[in-house]
Chains A and B, each alone.
Chain A
């Protein structure tokens, strides 16, 4: 991520859905809210580039995104953070693409551009006045075709990325806690390496590795172009062929991560101390399925019931009623290869980690044993429906949903069908998937404690490594 918006160190946690909801499904007070399916056009160029588009002339802008199927899980060995560092290099140009070109074609004419790196993909996105569609397509094709980076701009941009690391991680009292979640939760899969990397491995990165990374992963058969908004289909076809069609498809295969994360054999606890954290925090994680799993919709509903809004179970019980936590979340953080179910708490002042863990376990036990109520189910479905409508307000929102469906789920039409799937989830399914991934499974606990607790720690927590599972 270059600027301002948040780096996605996690895969997309909140996913998007669309469908036509029939009257009655949302309960007696809900007349039909119909979201007509959006007409998605698809084309494949001879070099393998996938192109998806939706025409919409409501505003005179067009959103353009290029999704590369490469992310921090593809960081070279000993180069944690490289895919993200590389993302920054994609703005450094080549002999046709002067360094400020992306700004000249976006912010200088009233548009915007940015990019982000996640575990499974890297996405470059722009919103431009629609008369700038042709030049922005040219520029995206140029940087897909080639980059020309020298030592000076490589070093300078690497310094920027190190400042990004300092800002997100070191200047944030809980920054190192977020990194530890992935580091401690995965044993073998490269998902254990945080997207942002670390200073030492960023420093070790070489200019030659930038070249190799581009030729290995930045190729038309590893990319998906998304165009949404005010354009003419005939022009889009002409321009994509003219600009992207000129890029050759390399003959070698794209390397893919083939590491299988082993099942956990035992519970594990990691304890970290921080001089900056004023309040203790901890996380509990379980391994979860791939985002393409059949269980995804039920896990999404569980996510909303447990932690979306102040009426969610965890907020209501732990923050509001017991006042044991000042922040709490549950996320079904599902990724391409596998995911995590993560419970995360920052304690309220004066509360202890063991009592907070016990309170959390009571909540986990309860949902595993008793499932969810019909009211909770309806609420979660209404929340997803509203979120979908809000996302459809902008071309960029639609483009993101389309890119996610096409690249992450491997099926663009899921942008139009997933909401119906979500609305069909039953209470039993929610209970069953949670039991499938939590009941009897091994947990990893990460505790992140104020340094002042260090001396008192050892004697007070003798039972930690054999922390019992919630019973069921």
Chain B
């Protein structure tokens, strides 16, 4: 192993910093003791007459309460030329109701010591609060008001649009952010995930109150929503709160219409956006992968973890640890209601963008030829289960995990099933996943100073389309402004 050899060299060449006797007389770490068991609170649930699902996880240790409303649709519903519609709808909830102005809402919740936030992602929209549990009544009054009675005032829409536009102007100068915007377009074309959640400069400018009202009226319905409580609360209390604050919610029970499945044929494309001022190049390889309810989900998480989840995952080892080419290389498997993306990415100095692209591609291929087994398999399972357990340490983290299960209509016992399911994944499952989902060539996206890397890049990726930053149009599937 290369790493071990380097350690040997270190011993010979390096002058020691100080005397190097073995601490505790041990040349290697002392062995671990026996593991202690971990158990998560099992959530309970009930349903109101109006169809609202109520989920409660009782965690009485600290006088805190996290409450979250999760609507089972989000940015995937955005109309074709209105990217950002669900996100702006969500953001406007806390910007005024029939009885409270935006400043009244923020003052009320912050005076309790709490936070309120709302917005949309892929496949869901959420509104949530975290407060001291003795302030639950006051906080839930506000949470219910913003979800049930948002005013969507024109003045607030105009204000939010201006803020969004300023935010987007800054984002469009960041190579990493532009790369992710471009990747969404390149990978999903015009299908439901083929735009950015927050919208583009042009779609935000075009946003009108009627499309927002339409999204809200269609999808914010009790039968399409779950209310989640985690913290110092019992099921009975949670049910009482739900009835008291959300019982009168009688929206039309519009069944969440599943968006048309993305039956597109996969055609990879290599795109470079030439950003003359880029202080670094962002490199991403991306392709469609799996749905959240796929039986291959857990194998996929382990495959992804081997490639790019954790400090000594394969990508980070090759790109950062061995070669010093990046502050961090990683990959993600974003499973959604419909097929979501797999993405591997790193930022590097402009001059090494071609080398990093080649290394990422090579590691992706090696996932099929050099199976994940033995200690590597075990360690990546631990990365996933350990990270999962830490995510459940806080009430808000626990609520977020329940919200995700609710958004995808997955049974709540999955919460405690995650660790055993990950630990049951075998080498052949990982390899099968890689063969089935990751063997097709991905798209390559690089955003950076193109003259610094375009020539070497073309040696390994001959078919590259270069788009000048000033010509980039995220609204069009071909990404180029029409002149």
Contact = CB atoms under 8 A, between A and B. Distances in A.
B23 A382 contact: no
Select the residue from B17, B32, B64 with max chain A CB neighbours within 10 A.
B17
B203 to A, nearest CB: 17
A175 B6 CA distance: 35
Contacts of B321: 156
Contacts of B394: 390, 393-394
Given A145-B23, A382-B111, A107 B382 contact: yes
Contacts of A103: 310-312
Contacts of B24: 138, 141, 242-243, 246
Please classify how large the interface on chain B is, using the bins under 10, 10 to 19, 20 to 34, 35 or more. Answer: 35 or more
Interface string B147-188: 000000000000100110111011011111000000000000
Given A60-B37, A309-B110, A158 B23 contact: no
Contacts of B30: 134-135, 138
A464 interface: no
Contact of A147 (B17, B107, B165, B327): B17
Interface stretch (B219-227, B275-283, B457-465): B275-283
A265 interface: no
A279 B32 contact: no
Given A243-B23, A278-B169, A171 B7 contact: no
B242 to A, nearest CB: 22
Contacts of B347: 163, 166-167, 171
B368 interface: no
Interface in A363-421: 375, 378-379, 381-387, 389-390, 392-394
A246 B382 contact: no
B165 A112 contact: no
A89 B11 CA distance: 15
Given A96-B28, A112-B386, A308 B280 contact: no
B156 to A, nearest CB: 10
B112 interface: yes
A30 interface: yes
Given A109-B382, A310-B106, A375-B111, A160 B13 contact: no
Interface string A313-325: 0001001100100
A131 B36 contact: yes
A98 interface: yes
A323 B32 CA distance: 57
B115 interface: yes
A150 B15 CA distance: 8
A92 B17 CA distance: 12
A211 B324 contact: no
A375 B112 CA distance: 11
A101 interface: yes
B393 A148 contact: no
Nearest to B346: A163
Given A146-B17, A173-B173, A210-B17, A131 B10 contact: no
A345 interface: no
Contacts of B103: 310-311, 316, 320
B237 to A, nearest CB: 16
A31 interface: yes
A111 interface: yes
Nearest to A275: B277
Contact of B102 (A112, A134, A320, A346): A320
Contacts of B31: 135
B22 to A, nearest CB: 5
B107 A311 contact: yes
A58 B159 CA distance: 46
Contacts of A101: 29
Contact of A141 (B6, B23, B62, B169): B23
Interface in A287-322: 308-312, 316, 319-320
A153 B13 CA distance: 11
Interface in A58-101: 58-61, 92-96, 98-101
A357 interface: no
B64 A148 contact: no
Interface string B66-102: 0000000000000000000000000000000000001
A110 B389 contact: yes
B327 A164 contact: yes
Interface string A151-166: 1110111111011101
A346 B28 CA distance: 52
A393 B64 contact: yes
A247 interface: yes
B312 A148 contact: no
Interface in A186-200: none
A142 interface: yes
A96 B35 CA distance: 25
Interface in A92-135: 92-96, 98-101, 103-105, 107-112, 127, 129-135
Given A129-B35, A349-B166, A107 B106 contact: no
16 contacts: A101-B29, A108-B312, A108-B378, A109-B386, A110-B386, A110-B387, A159-B325, A166-B280, A173-B173, A310-B110, A311-B110, A311-B111, A320-B102, A346-B166, A348-B163, A389-B64
Interface of A: 2-4, 29-31, 33, 58-61, 92-96, 98-101, 103-105, 107-112, 127, 129-135, 138-139, 141-142, 145-153, 155-160, 162-164, 166-167, 169-175, 210-211, 214-215, 230, 242-243, 246-248, 275-279, 308-312, 316, 319-320, 323, 326, 346, 348-349, 375, 378-379, 381-387, 389-390, 392-394
> Lowest 4 CB-CB distances: which A-B pairs, in order?
A170-B279, A110-B386, A159-B324, A382-B113
Given A131-B32, A135-B31, A393-B64, 7 more contacts: A29-B135, A98-B7, A103-B310, A163-B280, A309-B110, A311-B103, A393-B395
